[in-house]
Amino acid sequence: MNFQKLLGDPRIRRNLMLGALALLGFAIAILIYFLFLQPPARVSAPTADTLRTIEPLPQHPQIQVYMNQSEANYYTDPYRNKTRLGDNIEQVIIDAIKSAKRSVDVAVQEFRLPGIAKAMIEKRNQGVRVRLIIENTYNKGYSEYTPDEIARFTEREKGKYEDFLAFADLNKDGVISREEALERDTIPMIKEARLDYIDDTADGTKGSGLMHHKFTIVDEEIVLTGSANYTMSDVHGDAGNIDTVGNANNFVVIKSPEVAKYFTEEFNIMWGDGPGGNTDSRFKGRKPHRPPREFQVGDAKVIVKFSPDRRSIDYFSTSNGLIANTLNTAQKSIDLALFVFAEPYFGNLIEERYNQGVKVRALVERGFAYREYATTLDMWGLLSTQDCKLGNQRPWAKPITTVGSYNAKKGDMLHHKFALIDNQTVITGSHNWSMNANYNNDETLLVIRHPTVAAHYEREYERLFANATFGPTQKAIDRSPKSCADIATATRRRGPARTTTRKRRERLERQTDQATAPSVEEANPSEAEEAE
Ligand SMILES: [Ca+2]
Ligand SMILES: [Ca+2]
């Protein structure tokens, strides 16, 4: 039987044809699989399915809490397209703005999130009254700097500028076009849209001190506030560093017309008659003193205090006084998660509570925890320069081991300003635990009493505490003053702090209060005297 003869047989020919077709179909199927169906070879970011999440906690009906590093939720950051654990604080703000029927008032130190800017512009275009107050230091879009100005940037500013380029240069040609600026640079965006906004020079001053608020009011019914500025680094993470997930921040949404009206009052004092017109805006010490105001929000208590106060005001009527009074109520536990801790008087109070059997834990951003002025030093039994300066000179007699710093991802910081007392009461807001916040800046301080609200802070605290480093660094020990007399001598040799120029003092103050902690190594000894 030869081959020719085989092919001549119609049955065999048909079988061969069928076999070839089957082979061809199989080949096509494999081709389709490889071209279209195969999962991507490089899994660059975790997907929602691969992220480990824990059960979300119940929310209080009128006071919702969000944490941008929460492990009970995940989202995809719309700018870096990174899927990560956390609550999307920007989206919470956008959704609230989109729900507005009458008004949107935003007072935020630094405003750089385009999604929020777009939502505000859209609302304004629909006829809703939209107003914005920012800190004058940030009243310039990065795309608005001239090459000369960029060349004069400090290292830190250069870093921020690089992040902006990574964020805004959408077609990666090394240049920020007008179109790109209007997509990613909020200040040109709001100028182009002619959105009503002012900064803290609207009172006719040069804007000394910080307009440090971080709140949004919608329809004078809902207040959204917390520790986060409206920036990539405080909310999602740096554009130039995909590994970052944003500084650890907390955020609350309070649905209460009474609370919202009180925030609107604060906003209106700063706003005056708005852009142009009279210089009737009032910021910082020009605002009237208002003692803490207590509100009943459902079954929760909320105390609101706006900083700053003049130094002539009785300490216990100031924001720091409210913190002190609240710390004094502690019966079981005090947990601190603070960006800055430079208030030795709180150190004394907490030590007294500790001596009464209250459990004390403190986590401070590592860029500030080991500074000479930090109250963490006091808790470690070391003298701090701030302690000396206030004539306190009282480091803890029995130093504790539960004081340290949170090991944030490189590039991220602990930016909270919260305390949790007896797992029932939360102190939070924009107000850093410093004299500077109390006397120089526009700040929000909140005290919230409710277990459902407190549970969110407790969970966040345990997360932070599980990934922390405790005790002072050797450098901090070496550098801490051995006696306050040493500091007085050193100060005389250098010349008193008061002789520094106002400009320099303001710069140092800003360094202390912004989300810009230089590394411990960079700490400038002369900064210590100015740390308040
Ligand atoms: Ca470009
Ligand atoms: Ca200012």
CA distances to 2, 212, 304, 404, 429 from 323, in Å: 101, 18, 11, 21, 11
Contact 446, 428 (CB under 8 A): yes
Tell me which amino acid residue 337 is. A
Q: Give distance in angstroms: CA of 271 to centre of ligand 2.
A: 14
Residue 49: per-residue pLDDT: 63
SS3 339: coil
Q: Give distance in angstroms: CA of 315 to centre of ligand 2.
A: 24
Q: Give distance in angstroms: CA of 229 to centre of ligand 1.
A: 26
Write out the E strands in 144-292.
196-199, 214-218, 222-226, 250-255
Q: The domain at 289-532 falls in which architecture? A: 2-Layer Sandwich (3.30)
Q: Give distance in angstroms: CA of 162 to centre of ligand 1.
A: 13
Q: Give distance in angstroms: CA of 123 to centre of ligand 1.
A: 28
pLDDT in tens, the chain (532 residues): 455 665 567 777 777 777 777 777 777 776 666 665 555 444 455 665 677 789 999 999 999 999 999 999 999 999 999 999 999 999 999 999 999 999 999 999 999 999 999 999 999 999 999 999 999 999 999 999 999 999 999 999 999 999 999 999 999 999 999 999 999 999 999 999 999 999 999 999 999 999 999 999 999 999 999 999 999 999 999 999 999 999 999 999 999 999 999 999 999 999 999 999 999 999 999 999 999 999 999 999 999 999 999 999 999 999 999 999 999 999 999 999 999 999 999 999 999 999 999 999 999 999 999 999 999 999 999 999 999 988 888 899 999 999 999 999 999 999 999 999 999 999 999 999 999 999 999 999 999 999 999 999 999 999 999 999 999 999 999 999 889 987 776 655 554 444 344 455 445 444 444 433 332 222 332 232 222 2
Taking each helix axis from N to C end, the angle separating 344-355 and 319-327, rounded to the nearest 10 degrees, works out to 10
Task: Name 84's bridge partners.
Answer: 75
Q: Give distance in angstroms: CA of 166 to centre of ligand 2.
A: 27
Query: Ligand nearest 178 Cα, by number?
Result: 1
Q: Give distance in angstroms: CA of 208 to centre of ligand 2.
A: 5
Q: Which residues touch 57 (CB under 8 Å, ≥6 apart)?
A: 72, 452, 455, 456, 459
Q: Give distance in angstroms: CA of 179 to centre of ligand 1.
A: 9
Neighbours of 222 (CB within 10 A): 21
Sign of the C-alpha dihedral computed for residues 105, 212, 210 and 142 taken in this order: negative
Q: Give distance in angstroms: CA of 165 to centre of ligand 1.
A: 9
Query: Ligand nearest 212 Cα, by number?
Result: 2
Q: Give distance in angstroms: CA of 491 to centre of ligand 2.
A: 28
Residue 22: per-residue pLDDT: 76
Query: Ligand nearest 173 Cα, by number?
Result: 1
Q: Give distance in angstroms: CA of 511 to centre of ligand 2.
A: 12
Task: Name 359's bridge partners.
Answer: 333
Q: Give distance in angstroms: CA of 449 to centre of ligand 1.
A: 49
Distance CA 123, CA 102 (A): 9
Q: Which residue has the tokens 């059960």?
A: 55
Neighbours of 438 (CB within 10 A): 26
Per-residue exposure over 499-529, b if at least 16 CB sit within 10 Å of its own CB, e if not? ebeeeeebbbbbbbbbbebeebeebeeebbb
Q: Give distance in angstroms: CA of 25 to centre of ligand 2.
A: 71
Query: Ligand nearest 198 Cα, by number?
Result: 2
Residue 515: per-residue pLDDT: 36
Q: Give distance in angstroms: CA of 396 to centre of ligand 2.
A: 35
Q: Give distance in angstroms: CA of 232 to centre of ligand 2.
A: 21
Q: Give distance in angstroms: CA of 137 to centre of ligand 2.
A: 6
Q: Give distance in angstroms: CA of 181 to centre of ligand 1.
A: 9
Question: Within the chain, what is the greatest distance between any pair of CA atoms?
Answer: 116
Query: Ligand nearest 506 Cα, by number?
Result: 2
Question: Do 289-532 and 54-285 have the same topology in CATH?
Answer: yes
Fold of 54-285: Endonuclease; Chain A (3.30.870)
Query: Ligand nearest 143 Cα, by number?
Result: 1
If you ran DSSP here, which 8-state letter would residue 442 be given? B
Residue 24: per-residue pLDDT: 74
Query: Ligand nearest 199 Cα, by number?
Result: 2
The domain ranges of the chain are 54-285, 289-532
